[in-house]
């Protein structure tokens, strides 16, 4: 099992200076937020963060966990990979009448 902690800066404008390549990947995911499960979809993904289409707006700083399954052949993985992530919402907005949220990934672990 592999474990990693991502370095995180705390500047309000960090989302503008991305340090990792973002991949446009739409995957269903279940978020664990305050002991509740929310169904969401990823819009893009990187080693340090993820953008979600959400069923409800989440506040800045909201901690969350999620397990995402990345199918074989996607993102240069030769096998299906399951990644357990812990992070927090760093950007929250509405687009086309739906809530969206960007989360920084503070920790991740391959399952």
Higher-pLDDT residue of 70 and 108 is: 108
Stated pTM of the model: 0.77
Residue-level pLDDT at 75:
64
pLDDT in tens, 44-62: 988 899 999 999 999 999 9
Write down the mean pLDDT value for the chain: 84
Q: What percent of the chain has pLDDT over 90?
A: 58
Q: Annotate 72-88 with b (16+ C-beta within 10 A) or e (fewer).
A: eeeeeeeeeeebebbbb
Q: Is 22 helix (H, G, I), strand (E, B) or coil?
A: coil
Does the domain formed by 3-8+22-110 have CATH 2.40.10.220?
yes
**Where does the chain show beta strands of DSSP type E?**
3-5, 28-33, 36-45, 49-53, 63-70, 81-95, 98-110
Q: Quick one: average pLDDT of 100-110? A: 95
Whole-angstrom Cα distance, residue 25 to residue 40?
13
């Amino acid at each position: 099992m592999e474990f990693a902690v991502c370095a995180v800066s705390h500047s309000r404008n960090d989302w503008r200076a991305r340090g990792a390549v973002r991949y446009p990947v739409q995957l269903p995911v279940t978020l664990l937020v305050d002991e509740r499960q929310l169904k969401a979809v990823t819009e893009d993904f990187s080693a340090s963060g993820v953008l979600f289409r959400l069923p409800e707006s989440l506040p800045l700083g909201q901690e969350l966990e999620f397990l995402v399954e990345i199918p074989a052949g996607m993102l240069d993985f030769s096998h299906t990979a399951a990644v357990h992530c812990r992070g927090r919402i760093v950007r929250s907005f509405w687009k086309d009448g739906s809530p969206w949220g960007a989360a920084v990934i503070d920790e991740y672990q391959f399952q």
